[in-house]
Amino acid sequence: MTIQAFIFDLDGVLTDTAEYHYQAWQRLADEEGIPFSREENDAMRGLARRDSLNVLLKGRVIDEATAQAWMVRKNDYYVALLSHISPNDLLPGVSDFLNAAKADGLKLGVGSASKNARPVLEKLNVLSLFDAVGDGYSVVHGKPAPDLFIWVAGRIGINPTQGVVFEDAAAGVQAAKRGGFFTVGLGDAAGDGATIKLAGLSGITPREILTRLP
Ligand code: BG6
Ligand code: MG
C-alpha cells in the first residue's frame, strides 16, 4: 500500500529534549538520593511521566501524594530547561526533511507521550507543518501500547499500513510495530526492531526512506 504519511515522535527525534527529560529526572533522583544514570534513562525514553517515575523508583514504594509531588517537581525542572528552546534546536536535517516530505505530498503527524509536546512544537516553530498532533493528553494507554500512533493515523485519515513512524525509543518502535506501521529507528536507544535503522534525519531524504521500505 502506498505510504501517505510520516508520523514523528518529538523528544529525541525532532529535537534533543530527551536530554532535558534526562537532566530533570537526574536532578530529582539526586535530591531524593536515588541512584540513576544516563543508561537507565534510556529505558524511560518514550514512556509517559508516570511510567518513567516507576522506572526511576526501581520498586521503591512511595505514597500517591509523594508521587504526584515528585512528578510536578520533575516537570518544573523540565519546563525550566525548555525556556530557551528556539527553531535552532531542531536536530540536524529535521527542517529540510519535514519540508521535503510536505513538498512530496506526504501528510505529517506527531505522536509524542509528552504533555509538553505542543508548547515545544510552538517554540520550534514547526507546529503548523503537522496535520495531526497526538500528545500526552490524547490516549489513556501510552507507548509501548499502539494507541497513540493509531489515534494520530485516525486524525490524519490513513490506515497504519500507509504510515511510517520515526522513533528514538525502543518503547516507541514497539508501539508503532504493534499498531501495524512501518518504523524508522533513530539512534541506539531505538533498538534493533525498526524496519529501517538510522543515526538521525540528516543526509537522508523522504524519497530515500520510501525506497528502502520493503
Ligand atoms: C516522551 C519522552 O516523549 O514524553 C519521555 O520520551 C517523557 O522521556 C514523556 O517522560 C512524557 O513527557 P512529559 O513532558 O509529559 O512529562
Ligand atoms: Mg522520543
75 lines ligand 1 (CB under 6 A): yes
Question: Does 124 lie in the same domain as 55?
Answer: no
Could you give the maximum distance between any two Cα atoms of the chain, in Å? 52
Domain boundary among 61, 82, 103: 82
52 lines ligand 1 (CB under 6 A): yes
Question: Does 101 lie in the same domain as 26?
Answer: no
The ligand with the least distance to the CA atom of 172 is 2
Question: Does 124 lie in the same domain as 37?
Answer: no
Question: Does 204 lie in the same domain as 104?
Answer: yes
Question: Does 203 lie in the same domain as 184?
Answer: yes
Which atom of ligand 1 is closest in space to residue 172's alpha carbon?
6
155 lines ligand 1 (CB under 6 A): no
Q: In whole angstroms, what is the distance from residue 177 CA to residue 96 CA?
A: 26
Is 9 a catalytic site residue? yes
Question: Does 109 lie in the same domain as 207?
Answer: yes
Question: Does 78 lie in the same domain as 143?
Answer: no
With pLDDT > 70 as the criterion, what percentage of the chain qualifies? 100
Question: Does 126 lie in the same domain as 64?
Answer: no
CA of 18 to the centre of ligand 1 (A): 8
CA of 103 to the centre of ligand 2 (A): 25
Which atom of ligand 1 is closest in space to residue 75's alpha carbon?
16
Q: For each successive 10 residues of the chain (214 residues), what is the average pLDDT?
A: 94 95 98 95 94 96 98 98 96 98 98 98 98 98 98 98 98 98 97 97 97 96
Total number of domains in the chain: 2
CA of 42 to the centre of ligand 2 (A): 10
Whose C-alpha lies nearest to ligand 1, atom 4?
Answer: 114
Q: Do residues 44 and 52 lie in contact, with contact meaning Cβ atoms separated by under 8 Å?
A: yes
Question: Does 32 lie in the same domain as 114?
Answer: no
**CATH number of the domain that residue 130 is part of:** 3.40.50.1000
Is 131 a catalytic site residue? no
44 lines ligand 1 (CB under 6 A): yes
21 lines ligand 1 (CB under 6 A): yes
Half-sphere exposure of 201 toward its Cβ, with a 13 Å CA cutoff? 28
In the numeric block, the cell 527542517 is attached to 95
pLDDT of residue 1: 58
Question: Does 100 lie in the same domain as 69?
Answer: no
pLDDT of residue 133: 98
Question: Does 23 lie in the same domain as 9?
Answer: no
Domain boundary among 82, 104, 127: 82
Q: What is the pTM of this model?
A: 0.97
What is the CA angle 25-11-121, rounded to 5? 120
What is the Cα gyration radius of the chain? 17
Which structural domain, as residue segments, surrounds residue 188? 5-16+90-212
Q: In whole angstroms, what is the distance from residue 35 CA to residue 26 CA?
A: 9
Domain boundary among 82, 100, 128: 82
State in Å, rounded, how far the first CA of the chain is from the last one: 11
Q: Angle of helix 17-32 relative to helix 64-82, nearest 10 degrees?
A: 140
**CATH number of the domain that residue 50 is part of:** 1.10.150.240
Question: Does 97 lie in the same domain as 73?
Answer: no
